A and B are shown apart, each in its own frame.
Chain A
């Protein structure tokens, strides 16, 4: 089991959009190593001739008739929003422009 570096944990946390403190990163690096050490044994069983299973049901393209059904009103859809404006979700800047 290779050592998981703090930099690796920080990179993964960034991919997951999760801000972690230096302490949390160091702690997680140790825990990840213990957990990955315990779960890596799946590789012993995973021979090349075994087909992977992603889901217990072998379903393909479940569809339903395209019929108009009632949906949430704007008020109701926005009722849990942290911020809203003019019947829309208000979000922080997304393109790095001046606020």
Chain B
């Protein structure tokens, strides 16, 4: 059964539909792999063995009765622990929520369940999605399956590592400044940040509400598209959800044709600070797209240089407000409630005990940026940069169909290398952040290896043109996979139960 874990979701879907394999067998194979390798990888915070098998049995029973099932019915998935799932521990990587079992499910979780997707468990992440390495998780760091001494990216390092370690063929992430795309890049997997408002945020623990977006992760472009189609769509429970049809992402992934397309290379997202191996893989991918009939041109987005600075004002500002809800009153941790202290003192003590360093850092930074006397200089200026970046995108998209860049300036760095230097850590997101500020759509997919570690290729499309990501991504992937003899993760080390730890 172990070969089941190396199959794509699309292949599993076909085998399940033909009843060559049962959902229970597929689910059990992945649960076995988790048992085997997760001690070394630590992708999961919670594994719902019984629940997953029960979901699989429901799918098998429905299939036996001849019910009309969706393409992903019976395919297992790893869920980032930022999404509320009824009755299942949901921590967001924080001590302040340890032991909390939500009384409701996120809309995305409901959609997954309705589609028959089997949820294996909750994946590790930087606390409240603040980080680029999972080192800020209150529950330990996830290891990169390509090299267990290196970071798997963040904040969604658990979801990306679960894919690269063949613990699940599908995963859900959330992307505020790159938390889907940067982990995808450094683990050799595919991740998409949909257009802002394309996927419901209801039941997703808020970090920076005007930037947060939930998205699909997988090992192939087509699998990512299949998952995108399941989770996207308008939701009455999210006032910022777009009320329009989801772009035809699966059809685009199947079309996989760039002939006649105009592709813009973002001048500001290259050069200094980008490792030579990253730049080389990027150039090779451009050459492939050119040979497939696309026109490549350089495009300048001058205000992207201010993106990182604007992000590290806007995101902490919104976070300082969003995280005010962790006040020790209605759910989560409460410290110091011994009858002698006021609600305010209990609140302050609980937040001191429940939040980790990076979360405290961003709450203080955001509160400062929003406080009287500093608001215009910091938050106000950052909002103006946001306008300028949005205008840069609009101008660029008036002459090209998609924009491209390396996803990250470097390959996965060693665990601990940047954990004491917040500014250096923040630079990991320099190429992914402009996308969130403008609310446009973007994908990272593997471009190859540099010194044995994966390099990510980023594609950016205008709002609600998410299908273009898949059209270009699938075309590039087809050529690269032909060269490699399979998608990049087929080259990932096969972890054994004795690996690392």
How close is B234's CB to chain A, nearest CB, in angstroms? 11
In the complex, how many angstroms separate the beta carbon of B101 from the nearest chain A beta carbon? 7
A99 touching B348 by the CB < 8 A rule? no
Q: A18-B352, A35-B422, A77-B103 are in contact. Are A52 and B383 (CB under 8 A)?
A: yes
Contacts of A53 in B (CB 8 A): 383-384, 386-387, 390
How many residues of A are counted as interface, with CB atoms below 8 angstroms from the partner's CB atoms?
A: 55
Distance to closest chain B CB from A63 (angstroms): 9
Write out the residue numbers on chain A whose beta carbons fall within 8 Å of the beta carbon of B329. 82, 89, 91
- Of the residues B240, B306, B333, contact of A42 by C-beta under 8 Å: B306
Kindly provide the distance from the CB of A38 to the nearest chain B CB, expressed in whole angstroms.
5
Cβ of A46 to closest chain B Cβ, rounded Å? 4
Q: Which residue from chain A places its CB closest to the CB of B349 in the assembled complex?
A: A19
CB-defined contacts of A82 to chain B, threshold 8 Å:
328-329, 331-334, 337
Given A39-B312, A42-B385, A45-B303, answer yes or no on A20-B240 (Cβ-Cβ < 8 Å).
no
Among A13, A42, A45, A83, max chain B CB count under 10 A is at A42
Residues in B with CB closer than 8 Å to A19 are 348-349, 351-352
Q: Which of chain A's residues has its CB closest to B380's CB?
A: A52
Query: Binary interface profile of B, 50-85, with partner A (CB < 8 Å = 1, else 0)?
Result: 000000000000000000000000000000000000
Of B9-17, B283-291, B355-363, which stretch is located at the interface?
B355-363
**Which residues on B sit within 8 Å (CB–CB) of A45?**
303, 306, 381, 384-385, 388
| B346 CB contacts on chain A under 8 angstroms | 92
Interface size class of B (residues with CB under 8 A): 35 or more
A41 to B438, CA, bound (A): 19
**A12 in contact with B239 given A39-B312, A51-B384, A57-B196 (CB within 8 Å):** no
* Contact call A55/B210, Cβ cutoff below 8 A: yes
B-side interface mostly: helix
Most chain B Cβ neighbours within 10 Å, of A19, A35, A62, A92? A92
Give Cα distance in the complex from A24 to B360, angstroms: 10
Q: Is A15 an interface residue (CB 8 A)?
A: yes
Given contacts A18-B360, A96-B342, contact A72 B387 (CB under 8 A): no
Q: Establish whether residues A54 and B383, one from each chain, have CB atoms under 8 Å apart when the complex forms.
A: yes
- Nearest-CB distance from B281 to chain A (Å)? 28
Across the interface, do A92 and B342 meet the contact criterion of CB distance under 8 Å? yes
**Is B344 close to A, CB under 8 A?**
yes
Q: Mark A43-66, 1 if CB is under 8 A from B, else 0.
A: 111110011111111010010100
Whether A68 is near chain B, meaning CB under 8 Å from some CB there, is no
A70 to B254, CA, bound (A): 41
For the complex formed, measure the closest distance between the CB of A4 and the CB atoms of chain B, giving whole angstroms.
8
Contact B330 A80 (CB under 8 A): yes
Task: Establish whether residues B384 and A52, one from each chain, have CB atoms under 8 Å apart when the complex forms.
Answer: yes
Residues of A within 8 A of B131 (CB): none
CB distance from B33 to the nearest CB of A (A): 32
20 residue pairs bridging A and B, Cβ less than 8 Å apart? A16-B324, A17-B327, A31-B422, A32-B364, A32-B368, A38-B309, A38-B423, A39-B308, A40-B378, A41-B309, A42-B306, A46-B380, A53-B384, A57-B197, A59-B239, A64-B236, A79-B103, A80-B102, A80-B103, A82-B337
Residue numbers of A with Cβ under 8 A of B are 4, 8-9, 12-20, 24, 28, 31-32, 34-36, 38-47, 50-57, 59, 62, 64, 72, 76-77, 79-83, 89, 91-94, 96, 99
Where the two chains meet, the residues of B that have a C-beta atom closer than 8 Å to any C-beta of A are 100-104, 196-197, 210, 236, 239-240, 242, 303, 306, 308-310, 312-313, 320, 324, 327-334, 337, 339-349, 351-352, 355, 360-361, 363-365, 367-368, 371, 377-378, 380-388, 390, 422-423, 426, 437-439, 463
